[in-house]
Structure 1
């Protein structure tokens, strides 16, 4: 038994406890680690444990009436790999959750949690975080810089207004579920999520009206759900998503692509957006080449002349040339990222 007092105070189904020699993949091989199940026992609080908490690798406290988890208890779960406290009455998590350095799965869904402690960033082994159906209005600002092993982030059915900019640093992330929130925008640098396969930002209703161009640079994306928002135009870059197999856009006042294209399915939508993007880049009246604009601004030797032919000719350097050391200045360092060079928006303005 995990809790000695439990035997006398609760006349519910007994505590289910299992031993495992596998050490839950991260424990001490020479010592048996325990899987303790205290779910569905109508617990309102946790009495003092008699079991050595350091040998527990999985603890299930779900479907109870817990209002808090003691700081001292969490701090001693040194080999914890899975912690499940879903469907309780928790309003917060203890700061000592940051001591769970081996934690891989954390399920806190179905509670009343308004914020996640910043210390959760110390759970650097975390692979799955489920915080659905809470009252979260924001996530820790820098969590994306630390949780580099996170593969699944589920925060649907909360009150999130935005996702932290550090979200774009979760390079191991495969699933991001942020539906049923109050999102007004998404981070600009989503292209860094190189392993993201599923992105669901549906049902943010009247709040989310634009999508970043970087969505089309999520090269591993298989499923994209942006339904029931206020999006009027899909980024042209979505036409470049070769692995995309499912696109949900219903419930939006779409103008581009038009409804008649959307009705024809995913292939028609991707073709429409791809053609639109290509025509925008090829049209001479849209944007001049970035090389020509470097010439215009005097970065390379040559004189700005009227007409596209003269701009191209001005790029040819004769025996007199000008130093290009200026390109290393902070003003120009961001001009040559792939995202800027291939974005339909030019970094330079006429």
Structure 2
């Protein structure tokens, strides 16, 4: 019968899987100055693309797996007991399956650094994911997420990259502003209506992509100008009519994408000229040269205090960012980021809209 084949078939396929082993050495010193070396073999297991609809109960020692790839299968669930035993896994890739949920035992993965759950049917992430405090990269693109755990930002203090594009999020939790080590935030192709308060806490954020939230996203907060490390800002294809003055204070900004918005201020003729023309316009408006609402003192005072407006950042912040040794270019690339030289994301309506309003300096 067809029902009895999967287990045998899976075991057969597993025989041909290459396991790359890593040795981790631990040395223990006793009081007699005796050194005893213990070698443990950590395995990288690749079970991707095998059309699995269930996981085999094999003789694999789950405690010795450091990397597990279960991507591109037909899995609808992952057993609680299996996840709970992956105590040494560092990279877990389960993208492109049929998962409706993740087990609560996901929180047991205390050593997990890279977690890819993209291309599934997830409507939420388990609250226990907050216990994965070693997590540096979370990819949950192309799911059905309606919200993220409320306190996720309070716990995932090591997170460098958060990708939640192509979901159904209408807001990011307030705690997102506590992800002070975050370098990349990709939340395009959602239903976002606003950014969370306290955005200025993201002092290491280099790439922010909130494009293609279409009719939902209308306003950028003034605090956007306090993102002192921001290099790329993509707010294209939203309903933004006014860019905040504070954008002119982003001294590290190299790329600004604003096409596909019904911009009124700056006017389109300014937007079409150059990024510098936009900055000059915003500075004039900030200084009251233009007849517009003067800048709010609340955020302008913070910008002066943080020394972003005069073109310098505080030395201690710069030193701290350089000292942590995180290489930004390792996480630079975002699929479909709108630039003339790169391919356009599959859902991007760039071809329909005009004129182009994207600048790189």
| Inter-CA distance 122–286: structure 2 relative to 1 (3 Å threshold) | closer
What secondary structure, in the 3-state scheme, does the structure 2 residue paired with 1:21 have? Answer: strand
Aligned to 2:240: 231
> Quick one: distance in 1 between partners of 2:18 and 2:119?
23
1:15 and 2:17 are equivalent in the alignment: yes
> Quick one: distance in 1 between partners of 2:301 and 2:113?
34
Aligned to 2:250: 241
> Quick one: distance in 2 between partners of 1:86 and 1:156?
14
> Quick one: distance in 2 between partners of 1:287 and 1:245?
23
Over alpha carbons, which structure has the higher Rg? 1
Q: Is the 8 A contact 1:281 1:287 kept in 2?
A: no
> Quick one: distance in 1 between partners of 2:185 and 2:295?
35
What secondary structure, in the 3-state scheme, does the structure 1 residue paired with 2:81 have? Answer: helix
| Inter-CA distance 261–22: structure 2 relative to 1 (3 Å threshold) | farther
TM-score, reference length from structure 1: 0.77
Match of 2:54 among 27, 35, 45: 45
> Quick one: distance in 2 between partners of 1:170 and 1:262?
32
How far has the Cα of 1:273 moved from its partner? 1.0
1:31 and 2:50 are equivalent in the alignment: no
Runs of 4+ in 1 over 3 A off after TM superposition: 5-8, 10-13, 280-283, 285-288, 335-342
Deviations 1:7-28 (A, max 9, x none): 83235472221101258xxxx9
Q: Is the 8 A contact 1:19 1:34 kept in 2?
A: yes
TM-score, reference length from structure 2: 0.75
> Quick one: distance in 1 between partners of 2:148 and 2:177?
13
Match of 1:131 among 140, 144, 154: 140
1:114 and 2:123 are equivalent in the alignment: yes
Aligned to 1:156: 165
> Quick one: distance in 2 between partners of 1:286 and 1:108?
45
| Inter-CA distance 280–104: structure 2 relative to 1 (3 Å threshold) | farther
Q: Is the 8 A contact 1:198 1:221 kept in 2?
A: yes
What secondary structure, in the 3-state scheme, does the structure 1 residue paired with 2:19 have? Answer: strand
Q: Is the 8 A contact 1:188 1:213 kept in 2?
A: no
1:74 and 2:83 are equivalent in the alignment: yes
| Inter-CA distance 29–238: structure 2 relative to 1 (3 Å threshold) | farther
Match of 2:177 among 126, 147, 168: 168
Q: Is the 8 A contact 1:280 1:286 kept in 2?
A: no
> Quick one: distance in 1 between partners of 2:180 and 2:174?
13
> Quick one: distance in 2 between partners of 1:56 and 1:235?
49
Aligned to 2:288: 279
Aligned length: 289
What secondary structure, in the 3-state scheme, does the structure 2 residue paired with 1:30 have? Answer: strand
> Quick one: distance in 2 between partners of 1:128 and 1:185?
23
Q: Unaligned 5+ residue runs, structure 1?
A: 291-334, 343-350
| Inter-CA distance 204–287: structure 2 relative to 1 (3 Å threshold) | closer
Aligned to 2:324: none
Q: Unaligned 5+ residue runs, structure 2?
A: 26-36, 306-361
> Quick one: distance in 1 between partners of 2:258 and 2:159?
27
> Quick one: distance in 2 between partners of 1:104 and 1:287?
41
Choose between structure 1 and 2 for higher RCO, CA contacts under 8 A separated by at least 6 residues. Answer: 2
> Quick one: distance in 2 between partners of 1:141 and 1:77?
25
Q: Is the 8 A contact 1:20 1:32 kept in 2?
A: yes
What secondary structure, in the 3-state scheme, does the structure 1 residue paired with 2:45 have? Answer: strand
Aligned to 2:153: 144
What secondary structure, in the 3-state scheme, does the structure 1 residue paired with 2:50 have? Answer: coil
CA-based RMSD of the aligned residues comes to: 2.8
> Quick one: distance in 2 between partners of 1:224 and 1:218?
10
| Inter-CA distance 282–192: structure 2 relative to 1 (3 Å threshold) | farther
1:96 and 2:98 are equivalent in the alignment: no
Q: Is the 8 A contact 2:288 2:294 kept in 1?
A: no
> Quick one: distance in 1 between partners of 2:276 and 2:262?
20
What secondary structure, in the 3-state scheme, does the structure 2 residue paired with 1:141 have? Answer: coil
